[in-house]
Amino acid sequence: MTSALYPTYARADIAFSRGDGAWLIAENGDRYLDFASGVAVLSLGHAHPHLVETLAEAAQKPWHVSNLYRIPQAERLAERLVAATFADVVFFTNSGAEAVEAAIKTARKYHAANGQPERFRLITFEGAFHGRTLATIAAGGNPKYIEGFGPPVEGFDQVPFADLAAVEAAVTDETAGVLLEPVQGEGGLRVFPPEFLRQLRRLCDERGLLLVLDEVQCGVGRTGRFLAIEHAGVAPDIVALAKGLGGGFPIGACLATQEAAKGMTLGTHGSTFGGNPLAASVGGAVLDVVLSEGFLPRVASLGGLLRQRLAELQDRHGAIIETVRGEGLMFGLKTRVPNGDFAAAARAEGLLTVLAGDNVVRLLPPLIIDETHIAEAVARLERACARLAAPAKQMGAA
Ligand code: PMP
């Protein structure tokens, strides 16, 4: 396959021409159950009527005016995010990495505004993923993403996953805060224990540190709560969102308390496209659905059902599936076979999944699925396991 695109992605040779709810239809007519959601982006699935209608309406109005003028759609979206969360103020971006960048800058600037500019370092955790910009690769700490790109951005100190003693030991006079994904996505679906998060909040309070969350993947309802941190009953200072917020339209957001955002004064940050009318309109339409009565409890209960079905699958196929972990509609299967082989077998059975670190296969269905999609996905996973158990006989039979 020749292409004028950078060869930075390992793409499957499939192009999709149609999407309908949790289903994707390839150009050749093959139907796939989409438990990848464009990597946790399609919170409402494909071609959701409310999103389609909202976008069509927004397209009749000015697409873009820039942040030199008021953008009522963005003002409204910010108000709704504030009403739904711990936050007082919002900065809009176009992607997850930019939302995390805004979160890092907000945390650093907070201490600068307090007369302590030397407090710029953030403590991060092994297995983290925060994006692919220069600061966010440094924050993530994965050498694979850092090497060859020049001196890494200074100021990130990584400690072992969910290790409070290690966090305490890493705090210095230069520490600005702690940055983490309440549920690590790319790192392999590792869930921070709620008790650890409560202890971490206490430590942050004692040491004057900001608790900064990257909920780019686990936020906006994916775990059955609007923010994943709500499971721990902990109030953060700054949270980065993206992915599910736009339901497929590129938008990210950095949410903060008034106090944490106090350094972000006139002229300190900006984005040409951030909070653009099209993106903000679609984001608002996503919230219409995700924040509607009963939606999130339904995600939580479907998540419970999926967890149970996956645990049963693991019981039947312990030689292939080692562990099942996750929360809400965000699960990882740590496999005993190479995760790429498992995902390929699932795809051959018409089920789309996403790989993650630690040899995990992620299941990230749209939040609008029902019990029938779960039954269908598990049946396909079952057949994928059968293929892997008898590779010589069955692989390539599709
Ligand atoms: N943070 C987390 C937790 C993510 O999962 C991702 C994307 N996988 C990002 C940041 C980066 O988002 P984007 O690719 O939109 O820049």
CA 311 – ligand 1 centroid, Å: 28
Amino acid at 370: D
**Span from the CA of 383 to the centroid of ligand 1 (angstroms):** 31
Q: Is 199 exposed, middle or buried (0-12, 13-18, 19+ CB in 10 A)?
A: middle
What are the structure tokens assigned to 100, written together? 């995390």
Instruction: Tell me if 13 is assigned to a ligand binding site.
Output: no
Residue 390 pLDDT exceeds 90: no
> Higher confidence at residue 391 or residue 127?
127
Percent of the chain with pLDDT over 90: 97
Identify the pLDDT of residue 397: 44
Q: Which atom of ligand 1 is nearest to the CA of 250?
A: 15
SS3 231: helix
pLDDT digits (tens, 9 = 90+) for 193-234: 999 999 999 999 999 999 999 999 999 999 999 999 999 999
Q: Confirm or reject: Cβ of 181 under 6 Å from ligand 1.
A: yes
Question: With a 6 A CB cut-off, is 216 part of the ligand 1 pocket?
Answer: yes
Region 308-330: mean pLDDT is 98
Mutation choice for ligand 1 from 216, 273, 360, CB with most ligand atoms inside 8 A = 216
325 in a labelled binding site? no
For ligand 1, whether the C-beta of 215 sits within 6 Å is no
Query: For residues 167 and 123, is the Cβ–Cβ distance under 8 A?
Result: yes
Residues with Cβ within 8 Å of 107's Cβ and at least 6 positions away in sequence, in order, are 122, 176, 177, 179, 210, 212, 237, 238, 260
pLDDT digits (tens, 9 = 90+) for 285-307: 999 999 999 999 999 999 999 99
- Return the structure tokens found at 135: 């600061």
pLDDT tens sequence across 108-126: 999 999 999 999 999 999 9
DSSP β-bridge partners for residue 330: 327
How does 204-218 read in b/e, with b if 16+ C-beta sit within 10 Å? beeeebbbbbbbbbb
